[in-house]
Amino acid sequence: MKLATFNANSIRSRLDIVLNWLAEHRPDLLALQETKVADEEFPADAFREAGWEVEVHGQKARNGVAFLSWAPLESVSRGFGDPDWPEDCRLIAGRLGEVTVINTYVPNGTEVGTDKFSYKLEWLERFGRWVGERFAPTDPVVWLGDINIAPTPDDVYNSKRHAGKVGHHPDEIAALARLTAWGWTDLFRKFTEGPKHYTFWDYRLPDPVKRNLGWRIDHVYATAALAERCTACEIDRAPRALPSPSDHTFVVATFA
């Protein structure tokens, strides 16, 4: 089984990149984030014509998550299912065979000290409760997506410069640590240690990919039973160098 994640930063703008990547790599499932499109305008027909099943949870111009899979997903859910919680299209989950896959687009947080940063921390706490209410660490579950946190100094190109800023702030890192303590294994770090392995390169920097000025903020986590079956977790950097790319790239986990 092969599962992948990709922040498309507008699926309509990145449609050809995604279709071509799917045709070449043929994962069992691709989780998309930041689709930036209402459900009725998602380019589902293009994917269905290529043989993919489509599940979406989006909104116009911002956020949005989706699944593309070879087989139909079962028990698909969208959002926290909490009437008191804002629905901003950041969470979708479904079951592929025996495995439940959770796809998240964690809030960015924008700037430390703002309401948006507080919301990011609140969202992470709410997500942890959502997971704990539905699953046990012994269940076969994968959590993947744009987590918007670089948890260690090795996960950002200049940790000293960015320490204490959004994406590399102690409060975010602690919040993620509380989540992973529930029973998640960071699959990329199961196989690869050290710096310079990134999934996001900021458009605003000059030649960020060539200079490798990146962040590892797109993650794949699994519970213990699946982590033991994971045989590889890799970052496919090539799509970030294509014309008109997303600022993120694909991360792929393979399971026996």
Q: Tens of pLDDT along 200-231? A: 999 999 999 999 999 999 999 999 999 999 99
pLDDT digits (tens, 9 = 90+) for 227-251: 999 999 999 999 999 999 999 999 9
Share of the chain above pLDDT 70, in %: 100
**pLDDT confidence tier of residue 16, bands split at 50, 70 and 90:** very high
The pLDDT of residue 169 is: 98
Q: Which of the residues 146, 186, 218, 247 is marked catalytic?
A: 146
CA–CA separation, 94 and 102 (whole Å): 7
The region that residue 145 occupies, defined by phi over 0 for left and psi between -120 and 50 for alpha, beta otherwise, is: left
3-state SS assignment for residue 192: coil
Angle of CA points 199, 49, 145, to nearest 5°:
20
**pLDDT confidence tier of residue 199, bands split at 50, 70 and 90:** very high
CA–CA separation, 82 and 192 (whole Å): 37
In the block, tokens 């012994």 appear at 138
The pLDDT of residue 249 is: 98
115 is catalytic: no
105 is catalytic: yes
Angle, nearest 10°, between helix axes 170-180 and 115-134?
A: 0
Angle of CA points 245, 219, 194, to nearest 5°:
95
Q: Which of the residues 28, 105, 218, 247 is marked catalytic?
A: 105
pLDDT digits (tens, 9 = 90+) for 142-160: 999 999 999 999 999 999 9
The region that residue 222 occupies, defined by phi over 0 for left and psi between -120 and 50 for alpha, beta otherwise, is: beta
What 8-state DSSP symbol labels residue 73?
Answer: P
What 8-state DSSP symbol labels residue 114?
Answer: S
